[in-house]
Amino acid sequence: MDYNTNRKKLELPEYGRNVQEMVAIIKNTPDREERNRLAKSTIQLMGNMNPQLRDVADYKHKLWDHLAVIANFDLDIDSPYPLPTQAEIHQKPMKMKYSNPDEIRFKHYGKILEDMVRKATQYPDGEEKDALIATIANQMKKSFLTWNRETVSDDVIFADMLAIACNRLKIPEGLKLKDSRDLLRQQAMATVGGATANNGKKHKGKKQAKKKQKTSASRA
């Protein structure tokens, strides 16, 4: 018996042994034009076997990369894309730099809002800067109410904003933020709306499933 355990290891198991054997045939084909023709046919087959790749950007490029991997990076063909090397495929990604939580002064606002406040200090004075400050301040108030469900005065938000900006911002005169009750009402409506939408999708899915079952039963 010819067991899979005795066969050569599959480089990419999702494509199966037949594709790997087809790639081996391509490698052993002496005529270059014939190799190119077989490679294109194999790529088409690989795409049909994994239609989910079509949702990925440059999925054709990814298929040719997979072909190179299956061939163990030893494939002499005219690829429409530069074939990757083994070093490129197995290269470790660059280490991501994570923010230090200690650098966030007010954790209930989050790093993005603090970065936006600091960015606002670089804008020239004028209506655009005033509008930006008002937008950020309202978002800060909304974030504050996420953790404190009661209320918060505008003065607290302005004081926190100035602290983040190291007093390099000037709060527009007469600026009044949205009422806490309105913000809390918006948050509640958004939560209910999201839950209603999810329930609607579930109900629609169940309805479609029942319809398919009735259709199958009538055909039987």
Confidence (pLDDT) at 207: 60
- Per-residue pLDDT of 57-66, as tens digits, reads 788 898 999 9
State pTM to two decimals: 0.47
* Side chain identity, residue 218: S
Q: Which segments in the chain show pLDDT lower than 70?
A: 1-4, 98-102, 149, 193-220
Q: How far apart are CA 160 and CA 154, in angstroms?
A: 10
Confidence (pLDDT) at 68: 92
In the chain the first and final C-alpha atoms are separated, in Å, by 41
- Per-residue pLDDT of 99-135, as tens digits, reads 666 677 888 888 899 999 999 999 999 999 999 999 9
CA atoms within 13 A on the CB side of 28: 6
Residue 176, CA distances (Å) to 138, 170, 197 in order: 9, 14, 33
For 155-219, the DSSP string reads HHHHHHHHHHTTT---PPTT--PPPHHHHHHHHHHHHHHHHHHHHHHHHHHHHHHHHHHHHHHHH
Tokens of 64: 């040719």
Confidence (pLDDT) at 215: 56
Q: How far apart are CA 122 and CA 196, in angstroms?
A: 42
132: CB partners within 8 A, 6+ apart: 120, 123
Confidence (pLDDT) at 214: 57
Confidence (pLDDT) at 183: 82
Confidence (pLDDT) at 203: 59
Confidence (pLDDT) at 1: 62
